[in-house]
Structure 1
Amino acid sequence: MSDDITNEKRALRAELRERRRIITSDERESATAGVTRHLEELTSELGVTSVAAYLSTPDEPNTRDFLHWACDRGIRVLLPISREDGLLDWAPYDGKDEDEDVFGMPTPTTEVLGPIAINSVDLIVVPAASVDRSGMRMGWGRGYFDKTLGSMERCPPVYAVIFDSELVDTVPSEVHDQRVNGVVTPGGITKF
């Protein structure tokens, strides 16, 4: 059974990567504006003073405008740094310099904090390949965010950032997969 789910996830991820790859620059620009506006709205609505988020890759919905907005307003931003042992370290982000972690993912260049630094944030913004209408998140297969969220004693609201078409009826899931409280898309905010 688990092999079937793993294969189903692998096929769905490949399809989603291809769909993201062919999005036009005009569509990306429009999506960035929508995602930024809705992340700002969510952050303001929740009264967030600190957020754990991520620097988007070129094929993901763009989070950089939102992160710069948050930094400009004095909101503390923590970004993940992938470790080879499967855990995430966190680093404060100032909206400036970026580097790459062990997997080539963009990360800040500031001091590295340990995995428990995320325990002090008011909101967690995570990447996803797809999310279903029950809040089940399907990530990209490394399990970093599932491990992090599953280990937290007191987890603040968690929102995934995806394109509108990636909010679907169901996604394949396994025991370790973690649900999110909502999604932010170019078209709006959906809460579960």
Structure 2
Amino acid sequence: MKKEIRNKIINNRSNLTEIEIIEKSNIIFRKLKEIDIYKNASNVMLYISFNNEVLTKPIIEDLFQANKRVFIPVTISETKELIVSELLSIEGDLEIGNFGVLEPKKNCLRPFSPHELDLIIVPGVAFDPRGYRIGYGAGYYDRFLPQVPNNVPKASIAFDLQIIDFVPSETYDMPVEYIITENRTIKCNLDN
């Protein structure tokens, strides 16, 4: 079932034009900037967007301008492990890595403890109002998030078309607390 949902949402998202992606991403970014968990965070982990995702480059640039530290995930395909690495330069640090996603060059890998993060912006394909998500299917975040202290806020940014009524979840799945779309900010809880 997750595979069908994933394929449907990716297909729907692929129908967005470049202009729609930019306009909707700008609205989402403005809404994200208004939330306290973003304003108060100093060490923010987020991903480098690709494949018609909400654009994250403006967020990264905003964090740099505010003298905040930016961290991105690095996937280790042999162990299916995700490590956190500090990003100092979008242009200088990155190269195409696993899954065609930009990742730090080997000499720009700067591992960082997940315990020191103030905010994690978690990627996903589909979300429900409870905060459960369907990712891309490799399970990297499913293995990573349990290593992060519970008090570290987790949020996701997505287009409204990625919100569905219900995501099938397993006991190990960890929901995010916020989902920000161009149309709404969802404060997730299991009562939704």
Question: Which range moves more in the overlay, 122-131 or 104-113?
Answer: 104-113
8 Å CA contact retained: 1:149, 1:155:
no
Output the TM-score relative to the length of structure 2.
0.87
Where 2:34 maps in the other structure, the secondary structure is helix
Question: Which range moves more in the overlay, 84-93 or 36-45?
Answer: 36-45
For residues 8 and 164 of structure 2, what CA distance do their matches in structure 1 show? Answer: 14
Match of 1:87 among 57, 81, 86: 81
The amino acid across from 1:106 in the alignment is: L
The aligned residue for residue 51 of structure 2 is 58
Where 1:30 maps in the other structure, the secondary structure is helix
8 Å CA contact retained: 1:61, 1:163:
yes
Change (3 A) 1:63 1:43: farther
Q: How does 1:25-44 map to 2 (within 5 A)?
A: 25-42=18-35
How many equivalent residue pairs?
A: 184
8 Å CA contact retained: 1:119, 1:154:
no
For residues 143 and 44 of structure 1, what CA distance do their matches in structure 2 show? Answer: 25
8 Å CA contact retained: 2:158, 2:179:
yes
The amino acid across from 2:85 in the alignment is: A
Once the two structures are TM-superposed, the CA of residue 45 in structure 1 deviates from its matched residue by: 5.5
Output the TM-score relative to the length of structure 1.
0.87
Q: How does 1:118-137 map to 2 (within 5 A)?
A: 118-137=114-133
8 Å CA contact retained: 2:13, 2:161:
no
User: Unmatched 5+ residue regions in structure 2?
Assistant: none
Change (3 A) 1:44 1:126: closer
Match of 1:96 among 90, 105, 121: 90
8 Å CA contact retained: 2:74, 2:83:
yes
Where 2:121 maps in the other structure, the secondary structure is strand
Once the two structures are TM-superposed, the CA of residue 47 in structure 1 deviates from its matched residue by: 0.8
The aligned residue for residue 109 of structure 2 is 112
Where 2:13 maps in the other structure, the secondary structure is helix
The aligned residue for residue 152 of structure 1 is 148
Once the two structures are TM-superposed, the CA of residue 90 in structure 1 deviates from its matched residue by: 1.9
CA RMSD across the alignment: 1.9
Where 1:92 maps in the other structure, the secondary structure is strand
Where 1:127 maps in the other structure, the secondary structure is coil
For residues 139 and 40 of structure 2, what CA distance do their matches in structure 1 show? Answer: 29
The amino acid across from 1:32 in the alignment is: S
